[in-house]
Amino acid sequence: MTSAQEQTLGFQTEVKQLLHLMINSLYSNREIFLRELISNSADACDKLRYRALESDALYEGDPELRVEIEFDKDARTVTVRDNGIGMNREDVIANLGTIARSGTAEFLKQMSGEQQKDARLIGQFGVGFYSGFIVADEVVVRTRLAGTAQDQGVEWRSKGEGEFTIADIERAEHGTEIVLHLKEDALEFADEHRLKALVRKYSDHIEVPVRMPTVQEGEDDTDVTVTWETVNEAQALWVRPRTEVSDDEYKAFYKHVAHDFSDPLTWSHNKVEGKLEYTSLLYVPSRAPFDLYQREGARGLKLYVQRVFIIDDAEQFLPLYLRFVKGVVDSNDLSLNVSREILQQDPQVEKMKGALTKRALDMLGKLSKDSETYQNFWTQFGSVLKEGPAEDHGNREKIGGLLRFASTHTDSAVQDQSLADYISRMQEGQQTIYYIIADSFNAARHSPHLEIFRKKGIEVLLLSDRIDEWLMTHLTEFDGKSLVDITRGDLDLGEIDSEEEKQAQQESAKAKEGLAERFREALGDQVQEVRVTHRLTESPACVVLPENEMGYQMRRLMEAAGQPVPEVKPILEFNPEHALVSRLESSEGEAFTDLAHVLFDQAVIAEGGQLDDPAAYVRRLNAMLTH
């Protein structure tokens, strides 16, 4: 079988870690190996069907695509084979010696010992081919790429211990055959009834027939008849009417499509007829994949045209902020030779994208009615959904209704309050949704800017995710109510403040004009303006950003990314009722200047800002404390 072309190569480091993780973590869920291998075989058949559209010769006279499963109790083997596209030597090394998906190494590195015991984490990037090592102490793969010569076959074998051997072989059939040499404690899988039950449980929905042999012996020992029985339904699940598909079948199909170990949170199966004809089956996963935030990570829907598989990760049918949605779209209108480039220019695709986006958002809207399930979704995918208002202006209101925030209503870091909840609790005369952005939840919750809001019982949204300032620059109103950052510009509480309060504020500002001017002169060009505030009840001072300036959070993100950031001078507001301000007013000369700088620096620190000269602040503070 082998030739001089035999090589022994080492696995990529991530593969070694993954193998160790699976072999030691998935004992109780080991039956999933069959689901993964059948799923890979079905994909290989799909790919051959697609490539054969241009050249029938790739079928090599065997156009009936199928997956076959055999077992041998005496030899302790289970064999899974397909007559799909197959692989050449380079494909084998690339696909079976490495993990192509970016970020896997980083993900594995971050997993703690406790997490490694959690088999469900495997679902974050799919176990795929390597799942064979859960039940086998040796795996042998024989394959040949369709359309190549018979002497271009390849054999790959490994015991999953850090290296694999690869050799050239003669192979008459195209496609791939995987032979699992079962471990002593996995012999239960060398059983006809067990294997058939697993095929029906996990792979019934796969369109490619999964066949197993039935052996019938005649009266004469040499008279043996082998017939191949199709074990699965072998019909594309999305083609069947919704009423005929059970929840278990939908869940099993999701695991095939997403290579996920967990059940989905929800799904939506829909057939569209009219100017555009297509069927979609969309799923919301229950947990985020490890590469959710990597822009080059795998995402998109499986695209079929008239039930012929075309592209695995078609990104063109959903916007980037819905990249966590998995599923299938099957169109009758696109051409069979469609490519990623053609998809980007096809106006029909744009119409389908609009309709599928609306369906995905509607699916999330229904999910949000179950607060506990939706909270699970939000914990996993909320930060990604927050990208929506910037990316999809047309659906901004709908996305806004799906967002969840922490709030002073609960004073909890859990983001579980909707904008609709906020509006339902607004005070009489309140026309604005108020929010504050800080680097952490505690920094937001304890900000001096909240003092007047807490005193008057006005709710404020507490935002601390890295994306929140970006979100709020695009989500400026919801349900006719404007959203206002309480740390920017003049604070106007509108009708909530009585005429008497407004009059008192004006009189206080007028009375302290002289102090404000002295204060500004002491601080020089560090501030744009100094003025009396009515935001504060307990703190002596706070810094306010001009209305349209970039916030501190966004500035720090841009600086960290090496982006130039324009200098901004804040406005300092002081509380005329505070004892330190009274002390400032009665000070003169250097004492006045030092206290003015200390109050300003404290206001910057309370806002989460950074001091230009921390040592000067410490020196001034120490001097004040020792006098």
Which residue ranges make up the annotated binding site for ATP? 36, 40, 82, 87, 95, 102-103, 124-129, 176, 340
Q: What are phi and psi of 467, to 5 degrees?
A: -90, -5
DSSP 405: B
In the numeric block, which tokens belong to residue 558?
């841009």
Angle between helices 371-385 and 347-367 (to 10 degrees): 140
Binding-site annotation: residue ranges: 36, 40, 82, 87, 95, 102-103, 124-129, 176, 340
Q: How many residues does the chain have?
A: 627
Sequence letter at residue 574: F
CA nearest 63: which of 73, 71, 53, 74?
Answer: 53
Distance CA 627, CA 614 (A): 20
Sequence letter at residue 369: K
CB-CB neighbours of 624 under 10 Å:
13
CB-CB neighbours of 63 under 10 Å:
12
Distance CA 273, CA 291 (A): 35
CB-CB neighbours of 274 under 10 Å:
5
**Residue at token pair 């899974």:** 80
**Residue at token pair 């080059």:** 296
Distance CA 94, CA 521 (A): 68
Q: Contact 301/327 with Cβ under 8 angstroms?
A: yes
Q: What are phi and psi of 506, to 5 degrees?
A: -65, -40
Q: What are phi and psi of 146, to 5 degrees?
A: -60, 135
**H or E element, residue 283:** strand 278-284
First and final C-alpha spacing in the chain: 92
